[in-house]
A and B are shown apart, each in its own frame.
Chain A
């Protein structure tokens, strides 16, 4: 079963706009990660935020984490057509030696 649930399932925006994707999860976590997947390709790691962090930036990416609400958001600023991809959140749980568990993803389309 998948731990994370992304929202929305699909998002379509114009180039230059900001894109916000949300992720909710169920159990306590060690860290939360966001990955990107271009069509027909493998997943690429974007950013990792630890459970004791609240916000993290990487270039045009901004990730927030609210452990009280068990939720995270990924903001892509000034989007480009090349940002068109599926975005997945994934969590490492706190309990036991468990693997990274992925959500179902948000499909982002950036229209030029």
Chain B
């Protein structure tokens, strides 16, 4: 069984640029969530996708957007990057089950200079 995979693992951007992060969900999981984790902090919910539709959003501005594809993989796009966007971005998938356990990928470490 393949777990959640994310790419790229590390990347460096400059202020004002745009970035796309990718995530392949675990086999059989149809829900994907994205979290931002700053150093020394807990993950912060960005948004969730189910059946290719956004299904819940955290307190992040519209320049954070996403997509989910028919194979349940997902992208996180961030426009007009700011220095404070530097963080680890975690993708998590889950089955549409009652417990709601999330299975996290290793994350993408974004540095904005």
A and B are interacting partners: no
Task: Please give the residue numbers on chain B whose beta carbons come within 8 Å of chain A beta carbons, in ascending order.
Answer: none
